[in-house]
Structure 1
Amino acid sequence: MTRSHIEFILSSEVEQHIWHIDGIENDACARTLSHNPQNGAATELVSFPSGWSVPMGSFSADIEIFVLDGQLQIGPYRLKQHSYAYIPAGVCCGPWKAQGLTNALWMPSASSLFTATTEHSHPIHLNCYIPSIDTSALPWSGTITPGFPPGAMRKVLRTDPDTGASTWLLGVLPQWRDNRVEIHPVVEEAYLVMGEMNTPLGTMTPGSYFWRPAHIPHGPFATSTGTLIFFRTDGPLRTDYIWPD
């Protein structure tokens, strides 16, 4: 995931444009939060208007979706607020329809072509297909970082069996604080869904987004309200700490 370092932006301030995917004619709009010019991988905030629809078909790249509000129907699966889906390249799904105005994070692994079809072009990818996760019904588990301050928990949405790349939600209680600086050996990407998080660069509020290359020091962090954050990494997460002077 080679993209420019973004630390951090408010998504509502990113210019909106007509969303475009080859093979789909639609009137959805998008804000591109980050983009890899080499292969077209991106993280987009897409606004699907009420009634937006696409027939059954497949994409030429892997797609991750996280619904922020509204509802996206994909065949028999209903992705309501804070639902997640992972659709591998070549896996046929749909038809698609937005039930009311729906905003979602749309994360293709590369430039994507949509093909209307009723057949899987890569059936072997079906074992990785995650059609829908209602994250509100997913149980919380402990964080995986040794020494991470109490008051935070994690909901794992997906882990790639080959690369260790991971997607998860982090929930943090009010009055949580970590005075240390963190460093990770992997790319870290995040979108703040609810609450606030205080950082040395300012306060992240709902809609705040960052894309951070590996080995970039960051922190300390604190929240008075608590927060819910959507995270992705491109490999197994490990955290090294630096104590402030």
Structure 2
Amino acid sequence: MLDRGHIEFIQAQMLPWQRIGHGLARPDAEYKMLSRDPQTGACSVLMRYPAGWSRKGPEHILAAEEFFILEGSLFMDGHYYGENAYAYLPAGWSRSEMHSDQGCVLLAFYDAEPTLVPEAGDGSAEQSDVAIPVLDTAAMTWDLTLNDENLRHLGIGRKNLRTDPHTGERSFLSLILPQAEPPGHKGPQEFHPVVEEAYLIGGSLTGPHGTMHPGAYFWRPPAIPHGPFGARWGAVSLIRFVGGRHVNEWSETNAPFSFDAPYDPILPDEFAYLATRPWIPSPPY
């Protein structure tokens, strides 16, 4: 599920909404494909359900599903998922009834092709020690414990959503404080032995490839140097480390930082056209 190339970064606003058809989970909704492994079908997507959408089972998906509600709400088998709700449902998780009264937009991650099977699972997914049926992230407290001196200037806070006890894979919300920039407008570059994937939910974040705004997404393969980063007025992202345990490693030399860095993305062929049409956010005034 790691063969997706290097995406750094795209703004989801520039991607078209597509109608979900057979072979992908939940027909009658829409999706934007952020990244996909052509070998396994593992993918990261935005999903949009119209107001009044509903679906009855029993059914399950032949993939583990991880999702975060960006807008609206969703009901599933007695669980209410409002804005900021999170879940991790192992492959085979049974679904009997789903509906969205007001409509819903969510960010979803699948570790294999998200194919629907029109029958209930065997119950083992619901008993799994890694299942997180629902988590209200807004009710959680930010962990402001500093974990790396090289990131001190960002004032990072975290809300841990999931750490897999078997693989060490991790998902969390990341908070960067306002007026955060590396001292002297330079700093070492960071890299990891596993994939880092992120979606910017709020604020803005500037790095060597330009400024990310809400809707920005990247999929960064292992061992890719990145940074330094800064934020004028703060940023909140959902970050995943995929393929193993997250470890920070650092370059021995410094790289420059500027809030004026132009959009200079690294994109696979299917997204190459976006490099010539940078997305420009609406002016605040």
Worse overlay, 107-116 or 23-32:
23-32
Measure how far apart 1:240 and its partner are.
1.4
Alignment RMSD: 1.9
Q: Does 1:169 align with 2:177?
A: no
Task: Look up the match of 1:149.
Answer: 152
Worse overlay, 24-33 or 217-226:
24-33
Cα gap change, 1:48/1:213 in structure 2, threshold over 3 Å: closer, same or farther?
Answer: same
Worse overlay, 2-11 or 96-105:
96-105
Describe the SS at the equivalent of 1:45.
Answer: strand
Measure how far apart 1:100 and its partner are.
1.5
Measure how far apart 1:16 and its partner are.
2.1
**How many equivalent residue pairs?**
245
1:108-155 Cα offsets, whole Å, 9 max, x none, are 110122234455353575332211111110121245743231511111
Relative to the length of structure 1, the TM-score reads 0.93
Q: Is the 8 A contact 1:55 1:116 kept in 2?
A: no
Q: For residues 18-29 of structure 1, what are the structure 2 equivalents within 5 Å?
A: 18-20=19-21, 22=23, 26-29=27-30
Measure how far apart 1:105 and its partner are.
0.9
Which is greater in Rg?
Answer: 2
Question: Following the alignment from structure 2 to structure 1, what is the Cα–Cα distance between the partners of residues 156 and 62?
Answer: 37
Q: For residues 43-192 of structure 1, what are the structure 2 equivalents within 5 Å?
A: 43-56=44-57, 57-123=59-125, 125-142=127-144, 145-147=147-149, 148-149=151-152, 151-178=155-182, 179-192=187-200
Question: Following the alignment from structure 2 to structure 1, what is the Cα–Cα distance between the partners of residues 74 and 245?
Answer: 30
Describe the SS at the equivalent of 1:198.
Answer: strand
Question: Following the alignment from structure 2 to structure 1, what is the Cα–Cα distance between the partners of residues 206 and 152?
Answer: 16
Question: Following the alignment from structure 1 to structure 2, what is the Cα–Cα distance between the partners of residues 23 and 211?
Answer: 21
Worse overlay, 72-81 or 91-100:
91-100
Amino acid at match of 1:149: R
Q: Is the 8 A contact 2:146 2:156 kept in 1?
A: no
Amino acid at match of 1:177: E
Question: Following the alignment from structure 2 to structure 1, what is the Cα–Cα distance between the partners of residues 26 and 204?
Answer: 37
1:240 to 221, 227, 249: 249
Cα gap change, 1:201/1:23 in structure 2, threshold over 3 Å: closer, same or farther?
Answer: closer
Question: Following the alignment from structure 1 to structure 2, what is the Cα–Cα distance between the partners of residues 163 and 35?
Answer: 21
Relative to the length of structure 2, the TM-score reads 0.80
Question: Following the alignment from structure 1 to structure 2, what is the Cα–Cα distance between the partners of residues 41 and 143?
Answer: 33
1:198-231 Cα offsets, whole Å, 9 max, x none, are 1111110000000000011111100011010000
Task: Look up the match of 2:37.
Answer: 36
2:204 to 193, 196, 201: 196
Question: Following the alignment from structure 1 to structure 2, what is the Cα–Cα distance between the partners of residues 10 and 23?
Answer: 23
Identity %: 35
